[in-house]
Amino acid sequence: MAGLMIVFALIVIGGSMSVGFNWDFDGPRAGFFPFYIGLFILGASIVNFWQSWSDGAGGRLFAEWGQIRQVVSVVVPSTVYVALVPWIGIYVSSALLIAVFMKWLGRYGWSMVLPVAAGVPVATFIVFERWFLVPLPKGLIEELLGF
């Protein structure tokens, strides 16, 4: 983690230098503040890196494999979900996400999955588009239904 942050710090410092971090005739330039922020991140991360190194954290497990599998089983469907939203709209992809979750992780029967997966998007539609008049992203299917 600390290693990642060092990379991040270098990106920030590099970016700040490219817009100028020194003083112009009318005051500090745009990169002035972020440049020093970058230096702070760099310094703190080096300390963290060194501390975790001297603790011998290399041998300590980040998480158990079972836990990591659980986490990945959430991250993957949610990433797919997030990637689908711009294409097929938030309603259809939400229904898919809920169905996948319940079927895959919860092992429910279809009689339970279908009402929930369909019900939540319909309820959000009523609350957001009808009551609060907040438009949400829609795809082809909503277009066919005439919204």
Partner 1 sequence: MEEIANLFNGFAVVLQPFNIMVMVVGILLGVIIGVLPGLGGANGVAILLPLTFSMSPTSAIIMLSCIYWGALFGGAITSVLFNIPGEPWSVATTFDGHPMAQKGKAGEALTAAFTSSFVGALFAVIMITLVAPLVAAFALRFGPAEKFGVYFLAFCSFIGMSKEPPFKTVAAMMIGFALASVGLDEMTGQLRLTFGFEKLLTGFDFLIAVIGLFGIGEILLTMEEGLSFKGRSAKINSRVVFQTWAQLPRYWMTSLRSCIIGCWMGVTPAGATPASFMSYGIAKRASKDGHKFGTGEIEGVVAPETAAHAAGTSALLPMLALGVPGSPTAAVLLGGLLIWGLQPGPMLFVEQKEFVWGLIASMYLGNVVGLLIVLTCVPLLAAILRIPFSIIAPVILVFCAIGAYTVHNSTFDVMLMMVFGVFGYLLKKCNYPLAPMVLAIVLGNAAEESFRQSLLASQGSLTIFWSNWLVGSIMALGLIALFWPLISQALTRVRPRPVTT
Residue 15 neighbours by CB under 8 Å, 6+ apart: 31, 34
Containing H/E element for 50? helix 32-54
Binding mask 74-103 toward partner 1 (x if CB under 8 A, else -) reads xx--xx-xxx-xx---x---x--xx-xxx-
- Residues 106-145 vs partner 1: string with x where CB under 8 A? x-x-------x---xx--x---x---xxxxxx--------
Residues of this chain, 33-52, that bind partner 1 according to CB under 8 A: 33-34, 37-38, 40-41, 44-45, 47-48, 51
**Contact yes or no for 81/57 (Cβ under 8 A):** no
> What distance in Å separates the CA atoms of residue 89 and residue 135, rounded to the nearest whole number?
11
User: Cβ distance 129 to 136 under 8 Å?
Assistant: yes
Q: Are the C-beta atoms of residues 102 and 113 closer than 8 Å to each other?
A: yes
Q: Give the residues lining the site for partner 1 (CB under 8 A).
A: 1-2, 5, 8, 12, 15-16, 19, 23, 27-34, 37-38, 40-41, 44-45, 47-48, 51, 62-63, 67-68, 70-71, 73-75, 78-79, 81-83, 85-86, 90, 94, 97-98, 100-102, 105-106, 108, 116, 120-121, 124, 128, 132-137
